[in-house]
Chains A and B, each alone.
Chain A
Amino acid sequence: LAKTTQPISMDSYEGQEVNITCSHNNIATNDYITWYQQFPSQGPRFIIQGYKTKVTNEVASLFIPADRKSSTLSLPRVSLSDTAVYYCLGFEGGGFKTIFGAGTRLFVKA
């Protein structure tokens, strides 16, 4: 059973860089690692996806070591509006039965 493990919560201050690490020991060879963000009363929103090494977009960076058993989502210079729950996705059954873990609740303070 594919499972992800993330810290339950993190606190940060505006302007800081935040790194959230997820472990996914059972990820399949052909699975991508995907992160989502969820604000209260909204559905999750895709942030970033990668397979290995590093991926960067306008929102975040994703670092994936060679063994792919973990990944780190990096949010540069967070603001109050980045307060949300962040999920990394685990996969089961070839990626069709995707599993959301409990996520990491990030709280950004002024």
Chain B
Amino acid sequence: GAGVSQSPSNKVTEKGKDVELRCDPISGHTALYWYRQSLGQGLEFLIYFQGNSAPDKSGLPSDRFSAERTGGSVSTLTIQRTQQEDSAVYLCASSLEGGLTEAFFGQGTRLTVV
């Protein structure tokens, strides 16, 4: 596609449910990033993929969070047993190479846990 695509754009879920957020990066981009942004706050790094590998998972807030990337392309961020504090916008970005050099961000998924 022309840009980074994220789905769904909005998700409302009940506390305790699992959710899956999807990111389609720009074709050919080897690096993929997930960030979280709470209302009025800066971006919080979650995880980075180089190809299908995630060299750094230390940003994931808890073991309820996991992410995978298949075929060096699509990535899924899964949050299990959602809590209200998980409510935020989840942003995905991709770049040709690592270091967030000229990365392109998607529009994000706004997650609301009620």
Once the chains are docked, how many angstroms separate the CA of A71 from the CA of B63? 37
Once the chains are docked, how many angstroms separate the CA of A45 from the CA of B100? 11
Total number of B residues with any Cβ neighbor in A under 8 Å: 27
Once the chains are docked, how many angstroms separate the CA of A93 from the CA of B102? 18
- Chain B 28-51 per-residue mask, 1 if CB under 8 angstroms from chain A, else 0: 000001010000011111001010
Total number of A residues with any Cβ neighbor in B under 8 Å: 23
Q: Among residues 85 to 104 in chain B, which have CB atoms less than 8 Å away from a CB atom of chain A?
A: 91, 93, 98-104
Once the chains are docked, how many angstroms separate the CA of A44 from the CA of B36? 12
**Quick check: A97 and B58 within 8 Å, CB to CB?**
yes
- B105 touches which one: A31, A45, A89, A97 (CB < 8 A)? A45
Q: A87-B42, A99-B45 given; name 11 further pairs at CB < 8 Å.
A: A42-B108, A43-B91, A43-B105, A96-B48, A96-B55, A96-B56, A97-B45, A97-B48, A97-B56, A100-B42, A102-B41
